[in-house]
Amino acid sequence: MSARVRTYMELIRYKNCLMAGFAATIGTFIAKNIMASDTFDLFHLKNYPLLDMGLVFWVVFLISGAGNAINDYYDFEIDSINRPERPIPSGRVKLKEALYFSYLLFALGTFTAFSIQQICGVIAFFNSLMLILYAKTLKSTPFLGNLSIGYLTGSTFLFGASVFGFEGLKALFVLFVLSALAITAREIVKDIEDMEGDKMEGIDTLPLRIGAKKASYIAVLIGFLAIFLSPLPYLMSILGLRYLYFVLLADLGFFAAIHQILTLKNPAKSSKMFKIAMFFALLAFIAGV
């Protein structure tokens, strides 16, 4: 791999793109099992839309990479101080090159998404606009920025399910809501953790606008809502009994995260517990099909 290619892979943060693409294919896998009432069988992969799953992975990889690149484009001045080693501030990628490269990836990802299914294309196009808007405006907009990340991250599962049209979206909509709520709560906690640095950089976040205490209450409220709604996939007969076993572990992790931020005033530990809880939630989604 040439130095130039490595630089652009660094710009799009390819490891994050790989994880996002993998999450989207899990969405396709879960939706297929829910709709067909099948059990996953390694010896019968022909029953799965493998080509579409590969395209879903590619679309999410491209659009996630585009989002990371355009985010660095708008963060150029801040990164010049805090992250001078990144491709743009280090001079390895010119500012305009990063912008045009991100637009190219957005276009390729959206075009490929429309080739899968029209609904896939609509979601890809909307998410591309959201990523551009987030990098330009929403990131520095208190609470709306957190909601945007919650939606965008949770929608990777929804995008994977959109391979099956509206039926796929209906199958995974509750899981998308639960994911978006948990991620939004964690994003607020991360903003509480980063208050000192954000204040120095002049970034306007919810905790800086209303205070850490009130922001933690909002994060806790959203976290409790995610816990309260967590049995819904089982109660709605979307996922089976195994889902309940794993989601219980996830809920215990969310309770621990809430305890850390509400009682112990430890946002760093709370953020880590949210991350662990979301891992168990993902296992619950997979185990429950």
All residues at 6 or more sequence positions from 37 whose CB lies less than 8 Å from its CB, including other chains: none
Instruction: Give pLDDT tens digits for 170-217.
Output: 889 999 999 999 999 999 999 998 888 778 777 888 999 999 999 999
Q: What percent of the chain is modeled with pLDDT above 70? A: 96
**Conformation bin of residue 94: beta by default, left when phi > 0, alpha when psi is -120 to 50:** beta
For residues 183, 133, 195, 14, the Cα torsion angle rounded to the nearest 10 degrees is 60
The per-residue DSSP string of 234-266 comes to HHTTSS-HHHHHHHHHHHHHHHHHHHHHHTS--
What is the average pLDDT across 17-32? Answer: 91
Instruction: Give pLDDT tens digits for 119-166.
Output: 999 999 999 999 999 999 998 899 999 999 999 999 999 999 999 999
Task: Report the pLDDT value the prediction gives residue 183, as an integer from 0 to 100.
Answer: 95
43 pLDDT tier (thresholds 50, 70, 90):
very low
Range of the domain at 49: 3-287
46 pLDDT tier (thresholds 50, 70, 90):
low
Tokens found for residue 231: 């049995």
Residues 288 and 29: beta-carbon distance below 8 Å: no
Tokens found for residue 46: 């022909």
Q: Can you tell me the distance from the alpha carbon of 131 to that of 129, in angstroms, rounded to the nearest whole number?
A: 5
Tokens found for residue 258: 């809430």
CATH code: domain of residue 183: 1.10.357.140
What pTM, to 2 d.p., does this model score?
0.89
Nearest-CA neighbor of 219 among 134, 143, 272? 143
Q: What's the domain count of the chain?
A: 1
Instruction: Give pLDDT tens digits for 215-272.
Output: 999 999 999 999 999 999 999 888 889 999 999 999 999 999 999 999 989 999 999 9
Task: Report the pLDDT value the prediction gives residue 1, as an integer from 0 to 100.
Answer: 66
Residues 236 and 174: beta-carbon distance below 8 Å: yes
